[in-house]
Amino acid sequence: MRPRRPSWWSDAVFYEVYVRSFADSDGDGIGDLEGIRSRLDYLEQLGVDALWLTPFYRSPMADHGYDVSHPRDVDPMFGTLGDFDVLLTEAHRRGIRVTVDVVPNHTSNQHEWFKSALAAGRGSPERERYLFRDGRGPRGAEPPNNWVSVFGGPAWTRVPDGQWYLHLFAPQQPDLNWANADVRYDLERTLRFWLDRGVDGFRIDVAHGMSKPPGLPDMDPRAPEFGGGEYYDPRFDDDGVHEVHQMIRKVLDEYPDAMAVGEIWVHDEERLARYLRPDELHLAFNFRLVLTHFDADAMRTSIERSLAVPRAAGAPATWTLSNHDVWRAASRYGGGAAGVRRARAMALVELAMPGTIYLYQGEELGLPNVSLPPEAMADPRARTQGPEYSRDGERVPIPWEGTLPPYGFSRTPHTWLPMPPDWAGLTVARQLPDPESTLSLYRRALQLRKTHPAFRVGDDLEWYGAPAGCFAFRRGRGGLICALNTSASSIALPPGEVLLTSSPLVEGRLAPDSAVWLV
Ligand code: GLC
């Protein structure tokens, strides 16, 4: 298929702002919109093209905003619609685009619709907006099918009149019925509401959810938590989901330059490609790098497969090393100094790639996952599945300056998640002037990616022969060369002039756990 006309997002660097943890302006220990606005200079200096803001809508915060009770208003915890407009205007003034999350698979159980569904009772049109069913077994005391929630336990909760409702996530996140016209119309309203305010696009939460097959057949209990594996899993990736994406795309097409990226955990490549058809999503997240350990062969396979699906669909590839749901790269790669070195190497590999990049706040500081005591954990998964499932460790607030918590994140030391006492060396203020810091590496890499002609010579990767545990490729004809060393010994550099290294060369050779860019 011919590639579509390149758009602003085709090679953009997006930066995920986990709003609760970026910057707190009002001293309640929780990040907010005004906090983001006050740190736009930083984002401009870093050199990102666009932001993805996690949900800041009205929410009881059972899943920290992914349980939305009003999708067209700002939760007072995060500010006001006026604050949002100011943030948007100021970001645009700096040439930074702003995209926002939408959560179409479910609402909060405190949404007006769900409250009225409970009140209206069985068989009512109000219940039709969700997935209410009678149970199985004597007196309907068993859930309607065997589906499990991504957060553990049955995906059904029983209400006082005996019916059950479906929730693929927490019980506070009832799934919507996408066969219902109100549900479709409401998402359209939400998209237009934010597009009319000037947002540049959306990140679609659980974009492979939404549609459920008629009859809600049992799943294979061996299916992985988020679907997309080899076992039958009717919870996700139902064929009907594509109609929803077509509807979303029709709205977006009315707004020049608006885009959408989907969170799609579907591993079958042919099925994944369907989401990128010309009348569906512009981009699909690619979680392969997140799922691959620090090994050159495994990474090369991941990279090749990551390129194949979007290329076949004529869409840009996307790349991500971390987000608010997965362990931070520095910890995934073994933690400590080695973990940070490897994460820095992988940053150069990622930023060498053609396509769209999604960074997650704090990765540019080399932050590790924080191991929090269970009593400090706030993620609903920690409660239902145990502390080892908690996503809090990657959501700890950003250290901006100073030597003690809250490191300029907030005025109060009582931040919503506690900040470690040993992060003084990781703050933005400490890293900015230090040319060896991870922040300086990201800034330099982003600047080169944007300005150096070696990034503009085509998107094909040509792989070179390389020693065991290493790889090297050239991007396009005469373009950037990138080499990665995951072995235990240093290796000779490929021929070329060094542009950037993730750690210092050792006697002119590429050290273990390092990557290099050359031209
Ligand atoms: C997505 C979000 C995650 C949230 C879930 C339910 O996976 O990234 O944080 O818990 O959807 O909305």
**pTM of this prediction exceeds 0.85:** yes
When pLDDT is averaged across residues 383-409 and rounded to a whole number, the result is 97
Q: Which residue has the higher pLDDT, 263 or 4?
A: 263
Closest listed residue to residue 17, CA positions, set 45, 39, 2, 1:
39
Q: Is the CB of 394 under 6 A from ligand 1?
A: no
| Nearest-CA residue for atom 5 of ligand 1 | 66
CA distances for 268 relative to 230, 317, 339, 353, 502, angstroms: 8, 16, 30, 22, 33
Q: What percent of the chain has pLDDT over 90?
A: 94
CA 63 to ligand 1: nearest atom: 10
User: CB of 96 within 8 A of CB of 50?
Assistant: yes
Q: How far is the CA of 340 from the centre of ligand 1 (A)?
A: 26
Nearest CA to ligand 1 atom 3: 325
Which tens digits make up the pLDDT trace of 112-130?
Answer: 999 999 999 999 999 999 9
Please provide the average confidence, as pLDDT, over all residues in the chain: 96
Instruction: Report the separation in Å between the CA atom of 506 and the middle of ligand 1, taken as the mean of its atom positions.
Output: 43
| Tens digit of each residue's pLDDT (9 = 90 or more) over 263-303 | 999 988 899 999 999 999 999 999 999 999 999 999 999 99
β-pair partners for 57: 74
Rounded CA Rg of the chain: 23
Dist. CA 64–CA 76, nearest whole Å: 13
Task: Name which residue sits closest to atom 9 of ligand 1, judged by CA.
Answer: 325
Residue 2's pLDDT is 46
- CATH number (1.10.3720.10, 3.40.30.10, 3.30.565.10, 3.20.20.80) of 8-104+181-443 reads 3.20.20.80
Say how many C-beta atoms besides its own lie within 10 A of residue 365's C-beta: 23
Whether 131 lines ligand 1, by a CB cut-off of 6 Å, is no
Q: Tell me if 72 sits within 8 A of 197, measured CB to CB.
A: no
Among protein residues, the one whose CA lies closest to atom 2 of ligand 1: 205
Contact 284, 261 (CB under 8 A): yes
Ligand 1, atom 7: nearest CA belongs to which residue? 206
Q: Is the pLDDT of residue 1 over 70?
A: no
Atom nearest to 391 CA in ligand 1: 9
> What percentage of the chain exceeds 70 in pLDDT?
99
Residue bearing the CA closest to ligand 1, atom 4: 66
Q: Is the CB of 264 under 6 A from ligand 1?
A: no
Domain-wise residue ranges, the chain: 8-104+181-443, 112-166, 460-518
pLDDT tens digits along 180-238: 999 999 999 999 999 999 999 999 999 999 999 999 999 999 999 898 888 999 999 99
Verify whether ligand 1 is closer than 6 Å to residue 365 (CB atom). Answer: no
Is residue 248 over pLDDT 70? Answer: yes
**Mean pLDDT of all residues in 60-75:** 98
Q: What is the pLDDT of residues 16-56, one digit of tens each?
A: 999 999 999 999 999 999 999 999 999 999 999 999 999 99
Rounded to whole angstroms, the Cα distance separating 407 from 397 reads 9
- Asked whether 132 lines ligand 1 (CB < 6 A), one says no
Convert the pLDDT of each residue in 495-516 to its tens digit: 999 999 999 999 999 999 999 9
Name which of 195, 198, 134 is nearest 166 in CA terms.
Answer: 134
- pLDDT higher than 90, residue 458: no
- Is 66 a pocket residue for ligand 1 (Cβ < 6 Å)? yes
75 lines ligand 1 (CB under 6 A): no
Ligand 1 centroid to Cα of residue 493, in Å, is 42
Ligand 1 pocket test target in 67, 204, 322, 325 with most atoms within 8 Å of CB = 325
Asked, as a colleague might, if the bond just before 406 is cis with ω within 30 of 0, I would say: yes
Ligand 1: nearest atom to the Cα of 106: 12
pLDDT in tens, 310-334: 988 999 999 999 999 999 999 999 9
| Atom number, ligand 1, closest to the C-alpha of residue 323 | 8
The confidence score (pLDDT) of residue 227 equals 86
| C-beta 206 within 6 A of ligand 1 | yes
Residue 64 alpha carbon to ligand 1 centre in Å: 9
Pairing of strands 470-475, 481-485: antiparallel
Q: Are strands 201-204 and 259-262 parallel, antiparallel or unpaired?
A: parallel
Backbone angles phi and psi of 270, in degrees to 5:
-65, -40
Catalytic residue numbers read 205, 263
User: Would you state the pLDDT for residue 291?
Assistant: 95
Q: Does domain 112-166 have CATH number 3.90.400.10?
A: yes
**CATH architecture, range 460-518:** Sandwich (2.60)
* Confidence category of residue 376, pLDDT binned at 50, 70, 90: very high
Paired tokens of 473: 């490729």
Q: Using a 6 Å cutoff on CB, does residue 63 contact ligand 1?
A: yes
Pocket test for ligand 1, best of 21, 205, 390 (most atoms within 8 A of CB): 205
CA of 468 relative to ligand 1 center, distance in Å: 38
Contact 62, 112 (CB under 8 A): no
- Looking at residue 154, the DSSP 8-state letter turns out to be B
pLDDT band for position 4 (50/70/90)? low
Site to probe by mutation for ligand 1, drawn from 206, 389, 395 as the one with most ligand atoms within 8 Å of Cβ, is 206
